[in-house]
Amino acid sequence: MGYMDEDACIYLIDRKKDMIISGGENIYSREVEIAVLEHPGVRDAAVIGVADDYWGEAVKAIVVCNPGATVSAAEIISHCRVLIAGYKCPKSVEFLAEDLPRLPSGKVNKVELRTRFDPSKRGAAAG
């Protein structure tokens, strides 16, 4: 996914499959990840969309903190509200003690994260 500016320069924003549609709004996971990563207590982060009965999908951040840092979900969400629009902010935050799962290419394995953290995806992974 991307856009073209008035000078015909093309900017790539995110992969289409990583776009979250919440309440009819398109949210690019990478934009939210950048905001989360700007928190001084965060070492690594990934953002996924999870099923939500009201919004369709809700933004969920999966965060790995810096060693010795204590960060709450409320802190992460408040931090993001200063940097990005409120509808783009995570509605929930999960903290991992281990590193984010990665593919051999080094990219975060978001399929694994969705299977692990989105209850609606658990049954689909088994079939």
Q: pTM of the entire structure?
A: 0.81
Domains and CATH numbers, the chain: 18-99 (3.30.300.30)
pLDDT, residue 125, reads 45
Mean pLDDT of 14-31: 81
Strands (E), 1-127: 2-4, 10-12, 19-22, 25-28, 42-52, 56-65, 92-96
Smallest Cα–Cα separation from 60: which of 40, 70, 46, 72?
A: 46
Residues 82-115 pLDDT 10s: 999 999 999 999 999 999 999 999 999 998 999 9
pLDDT, residue 120, reads 79
pLDDT, residue 89, reads 97
**What mean pLDDT value characterizes the chain?**
88
